[in-house]
Amino acid sequence: MCSAIRATVLAAFAVCILLTRTAHAEFFFWPHHGSWWGGHTPFGHGHKHRHTNPGSAKESQSSQDVPKGPTSAVVDANKPVPHMETVGPPADTDSERAIEKPAGSDGETGPIPLKKVAPAANDQPNEPSGPMPSASIDPDAPITEQLHNLASGKFDQIIGSIKERTSIDAFYAGRNYAPLWLTDGKANARAQAAIAYLGQVSADGLDPSDYSVPDFAPLTDPVALAGAEITLTTSVITYARHAQIGRVHWSRVSGDIFYDQSAPDPAEVLTIVLEAKDVGEVLAAYEPHAAAYLALKAKLAELRAGRNTKAQIADGPALNIGMHDERLPQLRTRLDVAGEGGATYDKPLADAVKKFQAIHKLKPTGTLDAATIEALNGRAPDRQTDIVIANMERWRWMPHDLGNTYVIVNLPDYTLRVIREGKQVWMTRIVVGKTATPTPITSAQMKSITINPTWNVPDSIAAKEYLPLLQQDPTILQRMGLNVSYNPNGTIQLSQQVSGLPARLEPKTIFRQ
C-alpha cells in the first residue's frame, strides 16, 4: 500500500514537472548523438527561454494535449526516460520543427513553429557537434598593419622630405592604411600599369633607374610587401614631380632663370592614380604636351634609332704621323682612305682625320686622340641627344598650360612669336643678351604691352660698353642715336628713342607683369 502511494506520488510529481516546463519553455530537438533536448541545449542551461504569461490558456498545456509525432516529445511518468544513445535523430534535421496546436473553440488544429535557438557567444558545448564556420580574414590585413607601423616612425627612413612624408601618411591614413598597389597580397593591375609606365620613361628623356620598382612576385612576408608598397609609391611621386617641374632645378643651372612652378602634392597624385581607369594615361599627363615638346620627343626617338652600329675602334694612345698601331687598318676603312700604309699613321690618313675633326667641331689637329675616337665610334650623336634631352627638361620648367594665346621668345634663333590656338600669328626678330649679360629666362602672365618704348640703357651696359667708346670718340653717342640726360642725383642716363634706331635695335615690344 505504501509503495503504491509512493509510486502515485512520484508519477504525479513527474507530471507536474512536465506541465511546468511546457508552460515556460519551448521544446525543440538538437541533433547531438541522437539525443533530444527540452529547454536545455548542448551549450548550457537557460538559453533563450521565452517566458510567457502562466495564465495563458494557449501556453499552459498538459503533456497529454501534445500529440505524438516525429517532432514532439511525450513523457510517460510510468516509463523511464530512454538512454540518450537509444533515441535516433529526427528524420529531417534541417526542416523547421513544430508541435501541433490543440483544438481551440473552432476545433481546428495547426502547427506551432518552433524557433531554432542559436547558442550564446559565451556558451561552450559539452561536446563539439561539428566544425564551426571560420570568420573571413582580409589577406591584406597584415600588410595594412605593417604600413601603419611604417607610418608610426619609419617613413622618415624611406621618405626624405618631411612635406612628402606628411602628405603620403595623410593619404594612407585616409584609407586606414590599406595598400594601394596590393590586392590579396599580390600586385594588382594598378601596380602593374605603373611599373610598366615607369620602365619606358626614357622616351621622355628620363632615366628609368631613377624610379625604382619592386618585384612583388616572390614576396610573401607582410613586412617586405609593405616596404615594396612604399617603394612604388615614392617612385610614382618622384616621377610626377620630375615630369611636372623638372628633374634638375633651374636655379642649379643659372641665376638668370626663374619659374614659379610647384611640385604636385603627393596625396593628390596617389588619389588620382587610385581613381584612374588608365594609370599610364594619368602618369603621362604630368609631362608637357606642347607642340615643341612633342617635336623634341620625336627627335629624341629618331636620334636613338639612328645610332651608329658600326664596329667600335678601340681606345689607345694618341697617334701622329709615322706611328704604328693595329687599329689603323680599321680606321682607314672607316674614313675610306685608300693607300698601302697599313698599320702606319701616314699623311693621307692624318688629313682624313683632320677633316673629320673639323666636321664634328673638334680641334682639327690631325692627331688621332681620345675625343676623335669617341666621335668615330658614334658617341658624337649622343651630344645631339643630350641637347634634345636638355631642352625637354627646360620645357618641364615652364608652365605646361600656356593658354590659347601666348608670346614665346626663342633666344637661340633670336625670334619672338605670338601663338594663338596652336598657330603662329606673328613673328619678329629680337636682340638677346650676350654671354656675359644674358637675357633672363622666365614666364609670367602679361598684363600690359608697350609698343615701341624708349630704351633706357642699363647702367651696367653704359659703364662697360658706351663710356669706353665715348672716351675714344666724343660724338659716338650722338651718332648712335643715344640721348644723354642727368638724373636728379647727378648721374647720367642714356636713352634711345624708337625713331632713327640702328638696324640692330629695331623697335621693341615689352610687357609688364
**DSSP string of 156-195?**
HHH---HHHHHHHHHHHHHTTT--SSEETTEE-HHHHHHH
User: What is the structure's pLDDT at 420?
Assistant: 92
Q: Which CATH number fits domain 309-377: 3.40.1010.10, 3.40.50.150, 1.10.101.10, 3.40.250.10?
A: 1.10.101.10
Select the more confidently predicted residue: 297 or 317: 297
Select the more confidently predicted residue: 73 or 223: 223
Task: Write the secondary structure of 428-486 as one string of H (helix), E (strand) and C (coil).
Answer: EECCCCCCCCCCCEECCCCCEEEECCCEECCHHHHHHHHHHHHHHCCCHHHHCCEEEEE
Q: 203: which 3 cell numbers? A: 622616351
User: What is the structure's pLDDT at 83?
Assistant: 46
Select the more confidently predicted residue: 32 or 181: 181
Region of residue 71 (phi > 0: left; psi between -120 and 50: alpha; otherwise: beta): alpha
User: How confident is the prediction for the chain on average, in pLDDT?
Assistant: 75
Would you say 444 and 259 are in contact if contact means Cβ atoms under 8 Å apart?
A: no
pLDDT digits (tens, 9 = 90+) for 51-90: 444 444 444 344 444 444 443 444 444 545 444 444 444 4
Select the more confidently predicted residue: 314 or 2: 314
pLDDT digits (tens, 9 = 90+) for 371-426: 898 888 876 557 788 999 999 999 999 999 888 999 999 888 899 999 999 899 99
Select the more confidently predicted residue: 41 or 281: 281
CATH 1.10.101.10 region(s) of the chain? 309-377
Residue 420, phi then psi, degrees to nearest 5: -130, 120
Highest mean pLDDT among 100-104, 115-119, 217-221: 217-221
Predicted confidence (pLDDT) at residue 295 exceeds the cutoff of 90: yes
Q: Which range, of 22-31, 77-86, 263-272, 334-343, averages the lowest pLDDT?
A: 22-31
Predicted confidence (pLDDT) at residue 224 exceeds the cutoff of 60: yes
- DSSP letter at 405? E
Predicted confidence (pLDDT) at residue 216 exceeds the cutoff of 70: yes
∠ CA 206-211-216, nearest 5°, is: 140
Summarize the confidence of residues 166-182 as an average pLDDT.
Answer: 93
Summarize the confidence of residues 247-260 as an average pLDDT.
Answer: 88
Maximum separation of any 2 CA atoms in the chain, in Å: 160
- pTM exceeds 0.85: no
223-257: burial string, b at 16+ Cβ within 10 Å, e else: eebbbbbbbbbbbbbbbbbbbbbbbeebeeeeeeb
Predicted confidence (pLDDT) at residue 17 exceeds the cutoff of 50: no
Confidence of residue 307 (pLDDT cuts 50, 70, 90): low
Summarize the confidence of residues 110-132 as an average pLDDT.
Answer: 47
Summarize the confidence of residues 192-213 as an average pLDDT.
Answer: 94
User: What is the structure's pLDDT at 499?
Assistant: 52
Predicted confidence (pLDDT) at residue 308 exceeds the cutoff of 90: no
% of the chain with per-residue pLDDT over 90: 33
Q: Which range, of 176-190, 263-277, 300-314, 354-368, averages the lowest pLDDT?
A: 300-314
Cα separation, 86 vs 73, whole angstroms: 15
